[in-house]
Each structure stands twice: as C-alpha cells, then as structure tokens.
Structure 1
Amino acid sequence: MAEDSSLSRPTSLDIEAKNETPDYGPPKTPLREAIFVIVVCAAQLMTQAGLALSIAPLQIISSSFDTTPRELTWGSAAYSLTVGTFIFVSGRLGDVYGHKLLFVIGFLWFALWSLLGGYRPCTSSSKCRCYLRKIIPPGRRKGMVFCLFGAVAPGGFTLGATFSSLLAERLWWPWGYWILAIACVMFAILGYYVIPTMIQEPLRPDLSTFDRLDGWGAITGVSGLILINFAWNQAAVVGWEAPYTYALLIVGILILGLFLFLEGKTAYPLLPRTALKGEVGWVLGCIAAGWSSFGVLVFYYYQILENIEGNSGLLVTAKWAGASASGACAAVVTGLLLGRIPASIIMFIAMLAFAAGQALLASIPIGQIYWANAFVLMLVTPWGMDMSFPSGSLILSNSMPQKDQGVAGSLVNTVVNYSISLGLGFAGTVERYVNDDNKDVLKGYRGATYMGVGLAGVGTLIASCFLVVTWKSSRKGSA
C-alpha cells in the first residue's frame, strides 16, 4: 500500500529530473487565466443552481410525489447536506490525487445524478477553490478573484430557479435536472482542457493511501455530520416523539466526538490543528450562523410568496432576480475592502445583512406591496453572502499552510452548505410544532423565519465578539 498511484503525481523534483516544461502552474496569459477563473467559478454557479432546482419548483415536485408539506424542507436540506458533508473529504482527495482530476470527476458525478435522479437532488460537485488559492498569487487580485467566486452564488441560484420554474410550469420539471446534467458535462470537458495540472507536494511514502486520506477521520466525520443533520431534519417530519430521532442525534454527537479525538492522532488530519485557531474559528462561527439563516430565508421566501401570496414559482424567481446584481455589487465592494479594513469589520457587516434580511422576511405583512419588505430583503441578503464567503475563504487561505489548502477550501464549503441544511432542519422543526397540525400554515412559516432571525442574531453576536478580540489584539500590537 505504500507504493500506489498517488506517488505518480508530478513534483518539482520529477520535472527537473526529466528536464520537461509541461503546462504546470499558473496560466501563462491573462486570457487563459480569465478562462480558468470562469471555469472554476462554474462549480459555485452550478452548485447554487442545483440548490434552486430543489426550492423554486418544489410545490410542483411535491404534488407529483404526493408528499406532505412537512416533508418539503427535505428536498433542499438533503441537497445541501450531501454537498456540505462529502465535500469535507474531497479536499484531501484532491491533495492526494490532484485537484484537476477531482474537479472533472465531481462535475461528471454531478451530471450523472442530475440525469438519473431527476426526482431528488442529492449530488455533490467538487468545487476547486483550492486552485484559486494556489495559482492566483497573494495580493489584491487574489482577493478580487475570491470575491468573483462568491459573486456567482446569487446568480447561480437565480439561473437555476428561473429555468427550473419555467420548465416545471411549461413543460416537465425533470427537464431542469437533465439540462443541468448536460451543463455539468460541458464544464467537466472545459475543466479538463483549461485547468492546469498542479505540482503536488510529495507526501510521506511510508503511509498507506488510507492514512493519507485520513480514512478513519473521513468515516467518523461524515457519519457524525450525516446523523446529526438527519435527526434535525427528520424531526421536522416525524417530531422528537419518535425514539430514533433523538437516538440518532446522540449517536451522531458521540461519533463526531470520536472524530475530533482521532484527528489529534493522525499525520494528515481532515481538520488541521490550525483550522480552529485564531481568527479562523471566529470566521467559521460567523459563516455557520449566517449561512444557516440564509437557507431559512430563501426557502421560506418562496414558501410565503407561493403558498400564502399565491405567486407562481416563476414569478417569485422574478422577484428574487435582483439578488444577482446586488450580490455582484457586494462582491466588488468586498474585493476593494479586503486588505484595507480588518476582516472582522467585513464579517460584522455581513452578519448585519443576514439579520436585516431575515427580520424583514419574518415581519412581512401578508398582502403587502412587493416593493416593501420583499424587495428590500432581496437586495440586502446577498451582501451577507458575498461579504462573508470571500473574506472567510481568503482568511483560511492565508492562515493555513500550503499542504492544507485543499482541506481549507473544503472546510469553508462544508460549513456553508452543511449550515444551510442544518438551519432548514431547525426551522422545519419549529414550523412543525407551531403550525397547529398544519391548520395554521402562516403561523408555522412565521415561527420558522423567527428561528432564522435567531440564527442570524447568533452570527451577529459572534461577529461582535470577533470585532472586540481583533480590536484588543491591534491595541496590544501597537503598544
């Protein structure tokens, strides 16, 4: 096991020994670099488009399967759960076998399950922010590229929501997934030709592939995350009265504790010791709270406007479409601010945006004109997304060693997507217990959105503490 295919990865020593000059490293021209960034950003675009396919036409999909309203959150939660959980290990796979290979395989895997699973989204695309970390040199340009990567998220959601709603209402909803599969295959092909092969850092040859991949960490980490998330989202369907619901939650917590114990004893941990030190822990806490509230907001934005206001999915998508432009503006502003002001300030502003958007949704009056709460929250919320995501990515990129860059990329994606799924579980559970057995649907939606306000409030509190800590550190440094 010590000598395996992972040892055939190109290293700087191999290149010198063979006296070759293959296309390793950064793109050689600005045009090739621009194409490279576009292709890598497509991973974020398509992932958010896939999320939209599980939200925008959800009423039509649900009616075709004759499901109950309590089960609606599972469509979105299962998607984000799968993305967030399994991307946790994809970074290490990329470190061992090459991120280009994982990028192509990820898109093909996404295409396969979009093609075969048009009834339930449950795929994961290996998003390669690690390439942006390793290829784009440090500096303002790198910060702007990270912002562009985050900026495509609102646009990807709008794109997916528009086409899925249009196809569901005018043709047949599975076409949304089949078209997504075609697009994923196209990006896999582009990735193969556009993305350069990275020079891999040599790993210890005395360890087996299982150890290099942190096999036990992957098994316990993924299992624990899935069980905890499943318990909360299943509680929204069957309630906590079912013994297996809280039993799985307890088992999941115990397995996650075992994972943390094992991580301290492995040579290549999935969760490096530097991951939760310093400002990284604060940043991940903010992202977890903020993005969990975002999942609640976007899901119940559609539910309230469709089920209570009587709008079609396509009309709700049109009302949300401005989020793409707002997110792009937020990304540009964040790119300009990164390096000029402390990351704690950017994160605090992002959490305020999440909290403001969620509060507007929770308090939206039924029958109110669109240009009030619904319009304003659509403009405000993307600032939380596109300020927290790139700044958090850049902080992790700069704080972790080169050998852990793939893990760093996976960690942010895991926190973002897993938090969306877990937040939906929290909100769905609240909805179940306050809607009087589906007799008062609006009351249930209100309860869920106020749960979202609480999550965003936690994010704001963490960001405030982060501000105080960094202010004190700066005063000590200047003293």
Structure 2
Amino acid sequence: MDSPVSEVNSFKASGKPPVSNPPMSIIREILFIFITSSAQLMTQAGLGQTIAPSHIIGKAFGTTNSGQLSWFPASYSLTVGTFILVAGKLGDMYGHKNMFIFGYAWYSLWSLISGFSVYAKSAIMYDVCRALTGIAPAFLLPNALAILGRVYPPGRRKQWAFCMFGATAPNGFLLGAVFSGIFSQLAWWPWSYWSTCIICFAFCIASYLIIPDIQEETDEEKTSEKRHFDYLGTFFGITGLVLINFAWNQGPVVGWHVPYVYILLIIGVLSMVVFIYVEHKTLEPLLPPDAFTGEIGFILMCIAAGWACFGIWIYYLWNFFEVLRQNTPLLTVAQMAPVGISGCLAAASTGTLLSRFRPIICMIISMAAFTIGTILLATAPIDQTYWAQTFVATIVTPWGMDMSFPAATLVISDFVSRENQGIAASLVSTVVNYSISIGLGIAGTIEVHLNHKGTNILRGYRSAWYMGIGFGGLGVGVSILAAVLLFTKPSKRASDVESAEETAEKKEIGISN
C-alpha cells in the first residue's frame, strides 16, 4: 500500500529537490481524512438544511412562490460554484491549510447571521445570507481536495481517500436535512443555522490542530505568483457566472419578459467571452493549461449534465414528499435515509473499480444512475407506496453522486502538475455546484410555465424531472462517446510525465558522470 507521505512540490527544472511532508501516525491520518472530508460533508449539509424546511422558512417570510423557494438552495449553490476557482488559486498562493481554516471561520460567521435573518422578515435578506454562506464551501472544497492531492501520491491509498471524501456527500445532505427538520418541526428553524455556526467553529479549531503544515513553494516563488494573479480574469469570470446564474433563477420568479432578467443574462454571457479571451492572454490563468485535455473535458461535461440532473432530482423529490404526499420534514428525512447507506456502498465500490478500470467507466455507470433515478420519480404516482419507485430511486441515484465525484477528482488531480492541485481540484467542485444551481433555474422555468398557474402541481414537478432526464441522458451519451474516443489512445497523466522527466534527468546525470 502507498505511503501517506508524498512529495508536495513538483521536481523543478532548475534541479531543486522536491520537499516532503513528515509522516503521520495511523490515528492522525484517520483524523486528517475525517477533517478534510468534512468539507464535502458540510457543503452538502448546507444544501440539505435549506431544502428540507424550505416551505416552513417560506411561510416565515410570507412566500409560497415556487420560484422564490427554489432560490433558497440556488443562492447557496450559486456562490459555491462561482467562487471555487478563485479560492483554489488563493490556496495555491497563500497555502491550502490557511484557506481551509478561513473557509470554516466564514461558514461559522454567516451561519450565525443566516439564523438572525428571521428578524429581517425578508426572503431576499435570507437569500443574501445563504449566498454569502456559500462562499465558505467554495474555500473548503478545493483546498481540501488539494491537501489530499498533495499529501497522497497517485495510487490505491489516494483512490480510497478521494472515495471517502465523495462518500460524505449524501450523508452530509441527510445530516443537514435531519437537524433542520428537527429544529423546524420541534423547535425553531433558525437553530439549525446557529448549531451549524457552533459545529463549523469547532471544525475550524480542529483543522488548525490536525491538518499538517504542508510544505509550500518558497517565498520567492509565492511573491512571483502573486504578481501574476489574474485579477482581470477573476473579475470577468465571477461577474459572468453570477449574472448568468442569477438570470436563470430569477426568470421563474418575475418572468422572462422582465427586461433586467434578459439584460443581465446577455451581460453575463459577454463577460464569460471576455473571461475566455483574458485567460488565453494572461501569464498566470486561473485554469492551468494542463487542465485542458480531452479526457478532463469529457469528464467535466459529464459532471455538468449529471449533477444538473441531481439538483432537479433532489429538490423536486423533497417537494413531492412534502407537498403532494403531505409528509412532515422528519418523515421525509426518514424516507431519504437509504441515500446515505447506498452512497457509502457506492463509494466503497468506486474505490475498487477505479483501481481496475479507467475513470470514464465509472462515469458511464454514474450517469446511468442519475438518469434511471430521475425516470423512476418522473413516472411515480402520488398515491403509490413509498417502497415502490421512490424507494428504488433513493437507492439508485446515490451511485451517480458517489461514483462521479471521486472519479472526476482523481482524473483532475492525477492529470495536472502538483503545483496546480488547488486550481485543478476546483474544477470539479465548480462544475458540480454551479450545475446544481443552473439546473434548478432551468427546471423552475419549466415548472412555472407548465403547472397551469399552480393548478396542476404534479405536472409541473414531472416536467422538471423530464428536464432532469434530458440532462442525465446527455451525460450518458457524452460518457459513452468519451469512452469510445479515449480507449483508442493512451492516457497521459501529469504524474507520469513528471516521472518520465525525472527518469530522463537521472539518466542524463548518470551519462555525464
């Protein structure tokens, strides 16, 4: 089995020897994996604690509009997906451990304020608080993945570490949903956010004590990198992502005929065009050139389609349980419990599959799981027993989550150089969370226009699920096409290239001697 100690700096062309981290004991390594995996756990918990009591929170703010309610989780996912790339770059510059600790401190602060937003009596204020809270996972996710990528070299141990990271996703969602359901049904919903504030503060302290001080670049190298930080690209990238997402999610609320909605959408698209242009011209782009390979591109396309499908699946499943089947939040949580168990089994299976097959095989299986799970819900009658299609859907869909995420993150981590681990790790998390938010916006537009002005709720939900099936089917098609193309040529990993360069350099030294 591979050693948990890895070289965290790539072998420079100048001949500088790589720097290694001190070894960890087994107990500390377990705690280390738990703390880093808590980033994924708390990210999905933040989504679960927003979706589960959404109707109760909506009543507290005097709104039952489905478009406005969809903003509750969408505003959170919006900033998670938008700021991850910048957070990964800042981690590469200032240290991944420092940015990880900052993420939990920010999470604690804005969870506290989210709870107090109840006194503002404004859904918009609550949306703003949730959006600002989403910046915290944006710092946690890429830096946690980068820490794992720097500590573990490619191999079996790294595969299992990433699978454990991915396994926390469904259980994190359930954890957030359980506590928010308990507090909203038996006490007061703001307590779910105040308790999160306490938990995140504890994780902040634990991160400082448990995560090792990973050796970073020298001060001279850091200073050089700071001078070339892509401020212009960052501005246009964030502006474009925020405006496009805002327009798609605001459209169902006020209508697409409102001028500011489509004007902001146009500005957002233009900003992204400028961002792409700037990225091709700058010396230090947010996205490293070695992240633009064929395999990574196909993987990210699959992730975008699959997780957009998942966002629609989970949001409308929760509404289906609470609105149409009249379940309480706690009963809904109980019926969602198989998601956590199935997710753990999927993560364990993924670790074995990744050691034997290329990641694209796992992507095909995961995309099929997303699609099948959504089909089962879209065709389920309201009065049907839970143990029929809905139960099966909660068993099948987690395989999409817990196979796609570790497979994609392993591809990104192994195919780019070690100094770009932070930015590379950001790619998957950016696509995952941004796709969830965009998917909800598109589904919300479809629901509003096809539910006959709220008189046929089931038709609106099913129409949204049909859109999710379309996303899932797109993911299946792209993953199969990718498999056909990728199996015809060998895979080129950055780690393999680095090893080849080191071997060549050693041979050259031997010849000169």
TM-score, normalization: structure 1? 0.92
**What residue is the counterpart of 2:49 in the other structure?**
53
CA contact (8 A) 2:10 2:417 kept: no
| Mapped contact 1:35–1:194 kept (Cα < 8 A) | yes
Instruction: Show the counterpart of 1:347.
Output: 363
CA distance in 1, matches of 2:107, 2:457: 34
Match of 1:104 in 2: 101
The whole-number CA distance in structure 1 between the counterparts of 2:250 and 2:285 is 30
Q: Sort the Cα spacing of 1:197 and 1:24 in 2 relative to 1 into closer, same or farther, 3 A.
A: farther
Specify whether residues 206 and 82 from structure 1 end up closer, same or farther in structure 2 by C-alpha distance, changes over 3 A only.
closer
- 2:181/2:329 contact within 8 Å kept: yes
Residue 179 (structure 2) aligns with: 163
Change (3 A) 1:205 1:62: closer
1:179-222 Cα deviation digits (max 9, x unpaired): 0111000000000011111211246577473x443211211111
Q: 2:329 aligns with which of 308, 313, 333?
A: 313
**1:51–1:76 Cα contact (<8 Å) kept:** yes
Match of 2:294 among 252, 272, 278: 278
Deviations 1:94-123 (A, max 9, x none): 111111110111001011000011243221
Aligned to 2:77: 80
Distance 1:317 1:253 in 2: 38
State the match for 1:5 in structure 2.
Answer: none
Q: Answer yes or no: is the 8 Å Cα contact 2:9–2:418 preserved in 1.
A: no
- Show structure 1 runs of 5+ residues with no match: 1-9, 14-22
2:312 aligns to what?
Answer: 296
Unpaired segments of 5 or more residues in structure 2?
A: 1-7, 12-18, 118-125, 492-513
Give the stretch that moved more between structures: 61-70 or 106-115. 61-70
Deviations 1:230-249 (A, max 9, x none): 11001111121111111111
Counterpart among 333, 342, 346 of residue 349 in structure 2: 333
Which amino acid is the alignment partner of residue 292 of structure 1?
A
Q: 1:95 aligns with which of 92, 95, 105?
A: 92
Matched, 1:422 2:438: yes
Deviations 1:150-170 (A, max 9, x none): 000001001110110011000
For the residue of structure 2 that corresponds to 1:367, the secondary structure is coil
TM-score (norm 2): 0.86
2-structure distance, mates of 1:264, 1:474: 27
Identity of aligned pairs, percent?
47
Aligned-partner Cα distance in 1 for 2:461–2:50: 18
Matches within 5 A, 1:173-212: 173-202=189-218, 204=221, 207=224, 209=226, 211-212=227-228
Letter in 2 for 1:357: G
Paired residue secondary structure (2:488): helix
Match of 1:7 in 2: none
> Could you tell me which residue of structure 2 aligns to residue 444 of structure 1?
460
Return the alpha-carbon distance in structure 2 between the equivalents of residues 385 and 26 of structure 1: 33
Counterpart residue type for residue 93 of structure 1: L
Amino acid at match of 2:304: A
CA RMSD of the aligned region, Å? 1.9
Counterpart amino acid of residue 76 in structure 1: P
Query: What's the counterpart of residue 5 of structure 2?
Result: none
Cα 1:314–1:344 change in 2 (3 A) is same
Q: Where in structure 2 are the equivalents of 1:357-396 lying within 5 Å? A: 357-396=373-412
Aligned partners of 2:67 and 2:252 also within 8 Å: yes
Contact 1:309–1:367, Cα closer than 8 Å, also in 2 = yes
In 2: Cα distance, 1:468 partner to 1:11 partner:
34
Tell me if 1:141 matches 2:137: no
CA contact (8 A) 2:10 2:418 kept: no
Answer with 439-448 or 254-263: which moved more: 439-448
Correspondence for 1:30: 26
Q: Separation in 1 of the partners of 2:350 and 2:225?
A: 42
Report the Cα distance in structure 2 between the residues aligned to 1:94 and 1:213, rounded to whole angstroms: 12
Which of 268, 273, 284 aligns to 1:268? It is 284
Name which of structure 1's ranges 65-74 and 96-105 shifts more when overlaid on structure 2: 65-74
Q: Which of 62, 69, 75 pairs up with 2:58?
A: 62
Conserved? CA contact 2:163–2:351, under 8 Å: yes
- Counterpart AA for 1:35: L
Alignment correspondent of 1:4: none
CA distance in 2, matches of 1:260, 1:12: 27
Q: Secondary structure at the match of 1:264?
A: helix
C-alpha contact 2:93 2:225 (8 A) present in aligned 1: no
Q: Deviations over 1:49-86 (max 9, x none)?
A: 01001100101000000112221110010011111111
Q: Secondary structure at the match of 2:287?
A: coil
Deviations 1:388-429 (A, max 9, x none): 000000000011111110001111111111111010001001
Alignment-mate amino acid for residue 46 of structure 2: G
Give, as a single letter, the amino acid of the residue that structure 2 aligns with 1:154. P
> Do the aligned partners of residues 332 and 77 (structure 1) sit closer, same or farther apart at CA in structure 2, a change above 3 Å counting?
same
> CA 1:207/1:241 → structure 2, altered by over 3 Å: closer, same or farther?
same
Give the Å deviation of 1:450. 0.8
For residues 433 and 389 of structure 1, do their structure 2 counterparts lie closer, same or farther at Cα, with a shift above 3 Å needed? same
Change (3 A) 1:472 1:12: closer
Give the whole-Å Cα distance in 2 for the aligned partners of 1:62 and 1:271: 39
Separation of aligned partners in 2, 1:64 and 1:197: 45
2-structure distance, mates of 1:311, 1:443: 19
